[in-house]
Amino acid sequence: MIRKQTILFTVAILILGALPALAGWSSDPAVNLAIADGAGDQVVPKVAVTSDGGCYVSWYDAPAGYNVRLQKLDASGNEVWSHNGILVSAHPQNTWITDWDLIADSSGNAVIVFNDIRAGGDWDIYAYKVAPDGTMLWGADGIAISDNADFEASPKVTEASDGDFVIVWQRDPDAGDGQIYMQRLAPDGTLRLTAGGIPVAGETGKTPGFCVICPGDAGSVIVGWIQDMSTYYSNRYYRAEKFDASGASLWGAPVDVYNETALPLGYVPIIQSDGAGGAALLWHSYFNGYYNSHLQHLDAAGSEVFPHNGLTVSTMAGMYHIDPTLAQCGGDFLVFWSEEPTTQSMWGVYGQRFAPDGTRLWGNSGHVFLPMDGLEKNFHRALSMPDGAAVYWIEVPGGYGSDIIRGFRSDMDGNMVWAGSVIDVASTPSGKGRLPVALGPAGKSYLIWEDSRAGSIDVYGQTVNMDGSLGITSGVVEIPSTRLALGQNFPNPFNPRTTIRFQIEADSPVNLVIYDLAGRRVRAMYNGELLNAGEHLATWNGRDDAGDSVVGGVYFYALETVWGSQTRKMILLK
């Protein structure tokens, strides 16, 4: 008999009453949420989702001299702080800006990294950590990550499996060779590496740039970068390397991910953790007069799982396969891209599913989701779903300033599963751009973008539920069955949390337990509690029964009832 014990786990089932009479996530695609609409332009927004379904949104306030501002929204989209957010930094900024980064850490704080010129006329890198109540945990002026006379641009940050934060950026002196630098911070902001950071990439006569980063295993990180950006004719190859907590290479040397030809100017490749200490890398190239998109998988040891220079998403000749985006599901890789003729006068949305061994499961030419037509589609974005991916893009139906945002959800067979196939996310025609996205609990998509519907550029947002509806729902997704059913957790792989859904056919005591690879119990999410018939959702935050964070890797979760049991596998990224 299953014995009832104290529940140590918070079940993510929300019962929502009537919506309050204040701003929140909209259910109408014509009325999206205005997050930042102060005087003048609000630009280059970022979004990061927290485990409670809330999110942080940050941006540059252009009229104020590119001040950095931050807003926190609760799960319903209500502003936690005053409208237009709180001021993070008003330090002097250049007249133009580079990319920057925002993440939500495993404790629900916002971590922001950017550059400014507070220490002189050159860019230096700074980091801020902001608590959910708005407290500046690393001080009102943040932490100086670098302080020198060099050009330093486009910092990126990730949280490692040990809770440290790792920042990488491009550093170019006025004379001499450029390098990619790294710094590591303890949760309290203590510098783990030498003040000013350490160089982790660079070669004689070359200027690397456009670095990207993802967590590895055992506190490590994997960094990707473009090998040389010093001239138009430089070898803009894609390289990657894995570093331990001291900044030392774990692969011995950089891996040439792609060196067939130079990548396009200004192109930033994609990197994602594979959940097992390696990484998936995605990019597009221009070779022999055609664009094509490529996928490579590096395992934890840095070995290329796929052929050198990656697998092309399509072997169809005479077409461009460009602007790719990546989702992962159950060990497979789902890539979506813009299909265009060489005239770039028509646009379609195609996709490819790669098996772990690299087999193209949707055919050598990919799967046609939207045939090419005269409506321009750009800023393609994909998010992992429990059985496929949600895909979004900005569409231009009527020329400049008529942009809308649309999307669909695909299952693993390439079927579009939302009602009507394609949904409108933002249907008010206006200039739109950027479109950062993030995945939240219960498979909810968070989309943020620049929008000029009111004249100047503002920041707007919208959530899309896993069933394709907009705005606020109960978070419960129907499983069309009355039998015992344990769903695949989503997202998977995940960091820092994931949602497990299951269904029971009648009232029953339930065990839902997470185990490690050795079969040891990690977390008892249910320990004999009597649950009602129907579907249930539970969110695991990567902690054990004692409340301690567990290491990244493969875990199993098992559902046991009076009718039997089911077990599934999941991957925690750290």
Report the pLDDT value the prediction gives residue 2, as an integer from 0 to 100: 40
Tens of pLDDT, residue by residue over 340-372, are 999 999 999 999 999 999 999 999 999 999 999
Tens of pLDDT, residue by residue over 496-543, are 889 898 988 887 888 899 987 666 788 999 988 888 888 888 999 999
For residues 521 and 128, give the distance between their C-alpha atoms in angstroms, rounded to a whole number. 37
Query: Does residue 479 surpass a pLDDT of 60?
Result: no
Rg of the Cα trace of the chain? 23
CB-neighbour burial class of residue 367 (10 A; exposed 0-12, middle 13-18, buried 19+)? buried
For residues 129 and 66, give the distance between their C-alpha atoms in angstroms, rounded to a whole number. 19
Report the pLDDT value the prediction gives residue 466, as an integer from 0 to 100: 92
Tens of pLDDT, residue by residue over 542-560, are 998 888 888 888 888 988 8
Tens of pLDDT, residue by residue over 320-342, are 999 999 999 989 999 999 999 99
Please give the average per-residue pLDDT across 69-78, as a whole number: 97
For residues 5 and 529, give the distance between their C-alpha atoms in angstroms, rounded to a whole number. 7
Strand partners, 438: 446
Task: Please name each of the domains of the chain with its CATH number.
Answer: 100-267 (2.115.10.20), 485-572 (2.60.40.4070)
For residue 354, give both structure tokens. 């790669």
For residues 158 and 497, give the distance between their C-alpha atoms in angstroms, rounded to a whole number. 15
Strand partners, 156: 168
Tens of pLDDT, residue by residue over 171-229, are 999 999 999 999 999 999 999 999 999 999 999 999 999 999 999 999 999 999 999 99
Tens of pLDDT, residue by residue over 90-144, are 999 999 999 999 999 999 999 999 999 999 999 999 999 999 999 999 999 999 9
Report the pLDDT value the prediction gives residue 534, as an integer from 0 to 100: 83
For residues 548 and 525, give the distance between their C-alpha atoms in angstroms, rounded to a whole number. 14
Q: Where does 275-345 have alpha helices with state H?
A: none
Helix (H, G, I), strand (E, B) or coil at 443: helix
